[in-house]
Each structure stands twice: as C-alpha cells, then as structure tokens.
Amino acid sequence: MVGFSVAVKRGFTKAFSWGGRASRAEYWWFVLLHLACLALAIALEPTLAPLVWLVMFVPTLGVFVRRMHDCGRSGWNWLWSWVPVIGTIVLLAMLCDRGDSETNEYGWPPGSRADW
C-alpha cells in the first residue's frame, strides 16, 4: 500500500507522465494533499487559491489519468466531469474501482518492481 509521502513524491515526479498506473491509495492521498493546500491557501490568503489550483492542476490530472489506466480505462474519462451531477457520480465510481491485478495495456500494476 502506498503511503502519503510516496503518493506525493510520485504525483510530482510523474506530473508530466501520462503513462503507467496509479493505485487508489496513491490517487486519494494526492487528492487529499491538493484539497489541503487549497484549504490552507483560502484560510491564509484567498487570492492565492487560484495559484495553488494552477500549480496542482497538472500533477493532479496526471495522477487521475494514471488512476484510470490502473482500471484499464482511458484518461479521456475526465470528460465525464463536464456532465453535471451524473458525470461526478460516474467519475467517483471509476476512481473507487479496484485496479487490474495483472498487467494491462497501460503497464504493470502499481507497486510492482517494474512500476518504477
């Protein structure tokens, strides 16, 4: 299982890597960091929130795409976010789905020796 520090490290080091896979834990830890940074920015200086969001956007999108890959889905599923209400429900279901336990078209399972 991936811990917080590993998830953050992978999120930033693989920020521009659209290939590979990310486990559920890796994705949700990174989302927690993103939300915590936004909340802190809003609490300290609300005008910083858009800058924090912008800095975190690409790494968060990268880990989202890798999470979709872990379930054997295309990263283009982010387009569901444009569909009000139903899109959010569909995305949450996909993000909570168990990843493929074997190698799929997007690579080795997260945590395997070939993952890094």
Can you give the pTM of this predicted structure?
0.89
- Using a 10 angstrom Cβ sphere, with 0-12 exposed, 13-18 middle and 19 or more buried, the burial of residue 67 is buried
Is the model more confident about 116 or about 55?
55
CA triplet 75, 84, 76: central angle to 5 degrees? 10
End-to-end CA gap in the chain: 15
In the block, residue with structure tokens 């139903």:
86
Encode pLDDT of 64-112 as tens digits.
999 999 999 999 999 999 999 999 999 999 999 999 989 999 988 887 6
- Considering only CA atoms, which of 105, 89, 108 is closest in space to residue 97? 89
pLDDT grade for 17, boundaries at 50, 70 and 90: confident
pLDDT reported for residue 110? 85
pLDDT reported for residue 113? 60
